[in-house]
């Protein structure tokens, strides 16, 4: 089938772009809070302040002249990540996993020289990767050593877990696996695999690449349905805590699992994408509307909210998702 009828979509509770922008982002995300998440440096500092786990910041490059002798700063670092502070859509993120003599090894395995790094930094400072071409700074942070759970699931790059958080309640989760096609990036439209995770237990629900359902990782051929995220509750609590940190009502949290340090907040997104619904095979709207109907301040701490979600949406997935099956059973 090449198209799907809008009535079918709305029956499934699929959240469309217009509805997301107007009814959720426009309504629950006050504009003045955007800089907190659009500027990754601010997010990082804020997270450190709120004692939310996040990859540690090595240094920040703010001036063009600092780039000239950047090799000195990079000397001690084996693997590191360069990020534009105001980058969008994963643009301008350079992941260096190791060194080979004078050269640096990208997550894809390709080698680049110090000049390439300099140019990348220059571009970043000039605002090439930032939202409106505004001048930017380069964040240099620790490389995540990803959890063994993901061994064989990620061809290149770090798998990250996107959790949509609405009014502080984790709503839906998705594991994003970088592939060869996505050049180590975790963006679904670039070819990453999206694995829908059951919000109640972190198990794989289904997986998609380029909008089509798949069962095996396209590069490693490992079956995706065995994925189960450890420390699930801790991960949700971290995601939920971001609401208290930023105050944004509707956001996407990107979390990675570090082998030794556990769940780490990578970044926040005030305009999280809609593909998470396709990866989960279900629409966001029923859960969002349910949470919208809850009284303000019903659950005050992240833990309370996560427990509510674990209880409510655990049964919800079966009840709400399969009225047909329920009807057949009775």
Partner 1 sequence: MAHSRIPFYLIITTLVVVGLATAWMRHLEMAIPFFPGERQAVWFVEARVDFVAAGGEVLVSLDLPDSPPGFRMFSEHAASPGYGFSIIEHEGNRRGEWSKRSAAGPQTLYYKVQLTSGEDRSSDAEQGPRPRPASVYWDEPLATAANQLLTQALETSSTPQSLTRELIKLLNNAQADQNASLLLEEVPERSRLLARLLNQAEIPARVVMGLYLEDARRRQSLTPMVETYTDQGWVLFNPTTGQQGVPDDLLLWHRGGQSLLDVTGGHGSQVNFSMIRQTVPALDLAQDQFGNNFFALLGVQQLPIEEQSMFKMLFLLPLGAAVVVFMRIMVGLKTSGTFMPVLISLAFLQTSLVPGLLSFILVVALGLLLRTYLSRLNLLLVSRIATLVVLVVFLISILSLLGYQLGLSTGMTITFFPMIIIAWTIERMSILWEEEGPREVLVQGGGSLLVAVLAYLLMEIPLAGHLSFNFPELNLVLLALIMLMGQYTGYKLSELRRFRAMALTKPGDTL
| Positions that interact with partner 1 (CB under 8 A) | 1-6, 8-10, 12, 14, 16-19, 22-23, 27, 64, 91, 118-119, 122-123, 126-128, 133, 190, 198, 204-208, 211-213, 215, 224-225, 274, 277-278, 281-282, 317-318, 321-325
Nearest Cα residue to 239 out of 157, 148, 303, 282: 303
Residues 177-208 as b/e (b if ≥16 CB within 10 A, e otherwise) read bbbeebbbbbbbebbbbbbbbbbbebebbbbb
Q: Which is nearer to partner 1, 173 or 238 (CB)?
A: 173
Q: Are 178 and 158 in contact, with CB atoms under 8 Å apart?
A: yes
Q: How far is the CB of 221 from partner 1 (least distance, A)?
A: 16
Q: How far is the CB of 327 from partner 1 (least distance, A)?
A: 10
Q: How far is the CB of 215 from partner 1 (least distance, A)?
A: 7
CA distances from 53 to 47, 139, 182, 236, 314 (A): 7, 17, 27, 13, 26
**Residue 12 and residue 284: Cα distance in Å, rounded?**
9
Q: Which is nearer to partner 1, 56 or 64 (CB)?
A: 64
Phi, psi torsion values for 307, nearest 5 degrees:
-65, -40
Q: How far is the CB of 48 from partner 1 (least distance, A)?
A: 30
Q: Which is nearer to partner 1, 53 or 279 (CB)?
A: 279
Q: Which is nearer to partner 1, 28 or 258 (CB)?
A: 28
Q: Which is nearer to partner 1, 109 or 213 (CB)?
A: 213
Joined together, the tokens standing for residue 14 give 């699929």
Q: Which is nearer to partner 1, 12 or 310 (CB)?
A: 12
Q: Are 90 and 185 in contact, with CB atoms under 8 Å apart?
A: yes
Q: Which is nearer to partner 1, 127 or 262 (CB)?
A: 127
Q: How far is the CB of 95 from partner 1 (least distance, A)?
A: 15
Instruction: Map tokens 């995601």 to a residue.
Output: 239
Q: Which is nearer to partner 1, 238 or 250 (CB)?
A: 250
Q: How far is the CB of 310 from partner 1 (least distance, A)?
A: 17
Q: How far is the CB of 283 from partner 1 (least distance, A)?
A: 8
Q: How far is the CB of 90 from partner 1 (least distance, A)?
A: 9
Nearest Cα residue to 21 out of 254, 273, 194: 273
Q: Are 32 and 303 in contact, with CB atoms under 8 Å apart?
A: no
**Residue 118 and residue 125: Cα distance in Å, rounded?**
10
Nearest Cα residue to 170 out of 22, 264, 86, 272: 272
């Amino acid at each position: 089938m090449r198209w799907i009828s809008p009535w079918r979509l709305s029956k499934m509770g699929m959240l469309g772009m217009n509805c997301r922008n107007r009814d959720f982002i426009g309504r629950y995300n006050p504009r003045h809070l955007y800089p907190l998440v659009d500027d990754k440096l601010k997010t990082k500092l804020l997270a450190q302040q709120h004692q939310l786990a996040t990859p540690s910041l090595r240094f920040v490059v703010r001036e063009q002249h600092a780039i000239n002798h950047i090799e000195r700063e990079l000397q001690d670092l084996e693997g590191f990540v360069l990020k534009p502070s105001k980058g969008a859509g994963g643009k301008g993120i350079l992941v260096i996993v190791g060194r080979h003599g004078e050269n640096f090894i990208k997550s894809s395995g390709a080698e680049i020289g110090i000049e390439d790094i300099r140019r990348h930094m220059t571009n970043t400072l000039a605002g090439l990767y930032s939202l409106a071409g505004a001048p930017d700074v380069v964040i240099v942070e620790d490389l995540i050593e990803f959890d063994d759970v993901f061994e064989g699931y990620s061809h290149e790059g770090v798998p990250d877990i996107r959790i949509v958080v609405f009014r502080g309640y984790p709503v839906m989760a998705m594991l994003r696996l970088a592939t060869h096609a996505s050049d180590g990036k975790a963006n679904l439209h670039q070819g990453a695999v999206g694995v829908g995770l059951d919000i109640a237990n972190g198990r794989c629900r289904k997986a998609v690449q380029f909008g089509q359902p798949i069962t095996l990782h396209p590069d490693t051929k490992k079956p995706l349905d065995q994925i189960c995220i450890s420390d699930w509750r801790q991960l949700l609590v971290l995601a939920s805590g971001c609401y208290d940190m930023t105050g944004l009502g509707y956001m996407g949290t990107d979390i990675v699992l570090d082998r030794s340090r556990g769940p780490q907040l990578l970044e926040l997104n005030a305009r999280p994408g809609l593909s998470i619904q396709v990866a989960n095979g279900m629409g966001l709207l029923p859960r969002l509307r349910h949470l919208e109907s809850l009284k303000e301040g019903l659950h005050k701490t992240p833990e309370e909210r996560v427990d509510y979600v674990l209880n409510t949406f655990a049964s919800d997935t079966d009840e709400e998702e399969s009225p047909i099956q329920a009807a057949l059973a009775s």
